[in-house]
Structure 1
Amino acid sequence: MHIKWNALAQTAGVSFGITVAVVSVFALGILALSRREAVTARHAGTDAPAAGGSGRLALAGAYACFGVCAAAVVYGLTLIAGK
């Protein structure tokens, strides 16, 4: 039995990199949601038009981050399941 150590190291490196990237994007999505909550709480009861705009932008960013994470998970599952 012969182990291709170079291929094993490349696979481990790419897996680690993708894992760090997906976790970082998910953390950015959580951060965007918390910023939205902070903006909403700060401007509760006021009719500040800027509060709605930045809150919507943060929510859109959170949805984009979670969409990227979901796409990475679905892609990984298709790689595992095959065609």
Structure 2
Amino acid sequence: MKIDWEALGSVFGVSLVATVALVGLFSLGVVMLSKQEQTAGASGGGSGVLVRTGAYACFALCAVAVSYGIYLIVD
């Protein structure tokens, strides 16, 4: 049995980058939601809506990335 170390390293690298990016994106969404709740009481305005929309966009991108990963596994 021969192991293709280059392919194994490539898969490891891509998996590591994708995991860090996905966790970072989700964390950014959580931080944005917490900031939106803090600023909602202090100042009512359009900035809270913008921050909430950005947080939901982060969560949507996470869902798209996870769905694409499941698609790649199943297909």
Q: Does 1:55 align with 2:35?
A: no
Aligned to 1:17: 17
* Cα RMSD for the two superposed structures: 0.8
Alpha-carbon offset, residue 40 of structure 1:
1.2
Residue type of the alignment partner of 2:38: A
Aligned to 2:68: 75
Q: Distance in 1 between matches of 2:36 and 2:2?
A: 54
Q: Percent sequence identity over matched residues?
A: 49
The runs of at least 4 consecutive aligned structure 1 residues that moved more than 3 Å come to: none
Q: Which structure 2 segments of 5+ residues have no match?
A: none
TM-score, length of structure 2 as denominator length: 0.95
Q: Which structure is larger by alpha-carbon Rg, 1 or 2?
A: 1
Q: Distance in 2 between matches of 1:35 and 1:68?
A: 19
Q: Aligned to 2:45, what secondary structure does the other structure show?
A: helix
